[in-house]
Structure 1
Amino acid sequence: MVVVINTVRVVDVGREDGGGGTEELNGGNDGMLWEKNLDMSLEAEREMSNNYDNWERLVRAVIRKEEIWQMFHDRSPSISSISSDSSLDSEDLDVPFDFSRPGGSSPYQQLPQRTVDVPFDFSGLVFVRGFTPVFDLDDILRSTAEFLGKGTFGSAYMSAMDSGITVVLKRLNLANMPENMFRQHMDVIGNVRHENVSALRAFYFSKDEKLMVYDHYSNGSISAMLHGKTGENRAPLHWETRLRIAVGAARGIAHIHKQSGGKLVHGNIKSSNIFLNSNQYGCVSDLGLASMIPSPVMRNAGYHAPEVKNTRNVSQASDVYSFGILLLELLTRKPPLHAIGVNEAVDLVKLVNSVNGKERTANVFDVELLRNRSLEEQMIKTLEIGMSCVAKSPRRRPKMAQVVKMIEDISTMNTRSNLVFIEGVNPDFDLQDMLRASAEVLGRGTIGTSYKATLDNGSTIAVKRLREVIVTSKEFQQQVEVIGRMKHKNVATLTAYYYSHDEKLMVYDYYGEKSASSMLHGKIGENKIPLDWETRLRIAVGAARGIAHIHTQVGQNLIHGNVKTSNIFLAAQGYGCVSDVGLATLVSTTSVLDSRSSGYRAPEVTDTKKLSQASDVYSFGVVLLELITGKPSILSEDNEKDIQLVRWVSSVLREDWTVKVFDIELLRYPHMEQAMVKFLQIAFNCVKSVPEQRPKVSEVVRMLEDISGTNSGD
């Protein structure tokens, strides 16, 4: 199937420009990204067919709470007590219940002490190496639980424990498996560690029960995201999200296939076994269960390769076939099987094959995706990958490592030819609009150049053009997605980004031209804006809150890396708002150590060239000194060598000239002198030479809020 569509040509862009002031994004002599005529044409909107848009998921699984209670409290639980019509794949049974008694009126009530003796050895919960045993089986049995569904290999439950930990519990149909064989399987599965494979946390074995414990993914499965639940509307899924699901799942499966000497098989790839990990990429669950049950009943015929239907023997090639079905689901938003009669159904592969000719290809894709016709080329390439994966002959299917490369190429193509908007942003402009916009240079810093771009629709955005980016496109995309998900009123909102070989752009909401630096120090030929004490305090409190929020991200390991007054703006409420989050980790060390930022640089960064949250605290301490003194981070005096602000303030305080330290503008507020002295003391705590002696930013927030009489909820 060959489809010809118009493509977008992106012109190579030049390097840093000279000069400032106002310039046209589509003009100038500096070879910028913006050019006057972008060779971009899109096909006219074609008529969309909705013949297949009313596909619905068939759900027949109904489980009574009493049956679940019996499963966990009878001395001899019977797997068969659950209706064989239930399906783990449906994931539509989201009725919560507790394990304490049947028919409970409150689905999430506090559970009483266990009174029924259950046939479990509480000491038998075995944690996989690397996971701390922070709960036991007793905690799980007393937890509030939600039945997720029943499938080929057993039943799944979400268990929310009193400690706040939530896990997924798999209860397996393995009544006759010997313990040594079960443990061998657990050893293999437990050793598979990858960010795109759901890790096995713990397991349990007894004569009557075989359990597996996994982390819980709060967003639900990809199946639920694509097809929704009974009585609910499906949530919108942007193309970037679907592509990340495909890339992540492919990487996870490829990693699985490299294990056990390149012989490990997943055996049960389907959208209900794919979840979103913390980086919002696809993550594969239920690894290895297919190999634990001989000749399982094939409930999910829509995912199984033709040879599996005949032999019931799964393989890496059949995994590839199942992944191909997943790709088709992501593209069409249709389930793998569609009932067309009482006893008749058509599978997704046959449906796609039935659509021949480029004029009808659009009918295959989810109508939601076709709203952005510039993405059609990427969708067609993804469709071609999916169809190669579902080739009837196993030998004609690609290896998963090849599939990963092909999808990553599309992902790179996505960032190369388009603005990529952050999840949740509803774009009202595109790359072409930005290229046509007029722009004003706001400033040049250690990491890049900032522009104010005014679009034809009247809206204004801030564009950061990065220089000396040293990370790969994959690393760039992952870091930017972390930044984009970080929603906070004191952190500048990232709306989109652009990545190509020659250009890396970040697009933000526009907060006005006046940074804290320009307000404090003014520009050449201009008078600086007088800042009263209350405004300076709000700038400090807001910026501290923003940095504190940044430090809580990515397992409390994220750093800002470039805290300075030129990266702090006033938000709508008049509080400081921090920009340029995390960009320092994308550029070269030379940029980080640029002499223009030396006044903010912690001593250890000069020695180790490594940034940290403690170095962020130091930089913020310099910001506080700027706010209290009104002086820049580096002071240049006539016939004198440049001196850092930290050293200048220290030298003045050694003479006990406290008043001389304060900005003359602040001397109009003598009744606030005590608060200013406390403010100065906080700043000096932050700029201590030993990193361990500096406070955490969360502590700085509390101290500044004490001075201002506000709290984080204000």
Structure 2
Amino acid sequence: MSNVYDNWERLVEAVIRREQIWQMFHDQSPSVSSISSNSSLDFQDLDVPLDFSSAGGSSAYQQLPPPTVENLQKKEKSVEKEVSGLVFIQGFSPVFDLDEILKSTAEFLGRGTFGSAYISSMDNGITVVLKRLNAVNIPEKKFRQHMKVIGNVRHDNVSALRAYYFSKEEKLMVYDHYSNGSVSAMLHGKIEGNRAPLDWETRLRIAVGAARGIAHIHKQSGGKLVHGNIKSSNIFLNSNQYGCLSDHGLASMIPSPVRNAGYHAPEVKNTRNVSQASDVYSFGILLLELLTRKSLLHAIGGNEAVGLVKLVNSVNGKERAANVFDVELLRNRSIEEQMIKTLEIGMSCVANTPRRRPKMAQVVKMMEDIRTMNTRPNLVFIEGVNPDFYLDDMLRASAEVLGRGKFGTSYKATLGNGSTIAVKRLREVIVTSKEFQRQMEVIGRMKHENVSTLTAYHCSRDEKLIVYDYYGTGSASSMLHGKTGENKISLDWKTRLRIAVGAARGIAHIHTQVGQNLVHGNVKTSNIFLTTQGYGCVTDVGLATLMSTTAVLDSRSSGYRAPEVTDTKKLSQASDVYSFGVVLLELLTGKPSIISEDNEKDIHLVWWVASVVREYWTVEVFDIKLLLWDSDMEEAMVTFLQIALNCVKSVPEHRPKMSEVVWMLEDISGTNSEA
């Protein structure tokens, strides 16, 4: 490993006292454990003798001629002055010294354009990044002036220079350590190592943060400071998970060969002179890396490797999304527009001619505009709701199908933060996005304890999603008709009456909205849940007006559909009353809206009840469980049946208003409300 540490021993020799060196190489030394097992210090090339005797024993110089000993002791005094040469940038406390850094556990990070980098973990718990610069022939005064310029760059998206060290042989820089590793490692690290799934939001934060940092650097020193070495291995994530730049400002101090040709602008390859325009070019390459997750040189069809710019230019504009973007990102169609706009910015940054490239301040504005399009895309929260999750959280959530209805499929989604929501994925939505959003706003403003609260919605070309509060008890349908041992529970008369009263109040409230013209359009037991007080609460409000005729006339809900809806294909408040009447019959009989019996034709519940009431005693329609438990409530049940039969009259005008239904049901239950 000695080659990895690149003659690190020269620095150690220059600043650590002889007794400390001696301790490092003796088994009983407490300092041995502080040297990383990965470290290897090779001292055979040192030109200064080391004392390997005990601290209290005879000097290692005792066998040397006196003049030589005197010269070496003078040199040691000079070295001790250099130990105190670790200079902390103003604002940073000197909580460690160079000795502590050099005795720390060291981990090699890598070699870059300007030198080698190490992670230094000290005994006091502090971890920093130590940058050892390549051979730098620069006067001390000029070096310190340049460190002051770099140290004065303070920004959330620029890695802060904490301290530096200057000697004739060594130039060191001390930075904060970012534990997540570089963006390069995140994008291109091994699958079993650093590489991990990177969602679009994370990549966008990396790009926005890096752009802000570069723009800030470009404003320093009278607008003349240049980063000069922008690449994904020099970008990290700060505490807010935005891109943060390191290695800034060294290019103008250390002339170096063009090693990172993939990042350098064409003019830099020729002139070796970096500029703010060449920084913009390098940032454009970073954007292409984030979008494609491809290396700087990429082989096409087994041919010679080409650069990212040439690769993107080689693909027809209409096919770029499919053939250039990272397939991991393409799984989320809702971010495609953002990716295309980001690609356009990236391509403008890598224009061949410097003057055609935008300024970094302009790039920041464009990147932030993309991010504000949908910070986490296309999940709109209803006014008054505090968002604690986003679309990508929802899409990654553990999901369970609750049911499939005529308007779409409902899911129970358990989010990473532990909360649970109900998500409905709509199908056959025929209205424009603007009309959809307007209807969501209407529904979102509808605040009533017996109407399920709309939390958020998502509207894109391919998907329409709505998010509700989740009711853990399940729907009234599952309670009445679920399989034994699963959702089905025994409902006594009082519980069924509360379900009816609550649902009636909710529907009546809906009918007062939008100038008393709003319709629910999909009243059925699978859309009724229980509040914490045990009353019915309706969901799926107002969706019918968004759907195609096919969805409205779905055969699965024909048992709830009023006769006139089949003929006119139009919903009304009167048809809501009919559907609610079917719900009342379900609660009373315990039977589903369409009764299927072996070898018998399916029959609507309304028809079955009518036939039983005509031919038998009225009580024959009641759920036998109700008669066993609540025989003294038979009179109330008969009244309840009469209300239901009034609701399902074939002529719409003969049906009661929902406000009247509420009053009649509350009269039975002994409750009252403003409805």
TM-score (normalised: structure 1): 0.47
Which is higher, the Rg of structure 1 or of structure 2?
2
Q: Which has the higher contact order (CA 8 A, sep 6+)?
A: 1
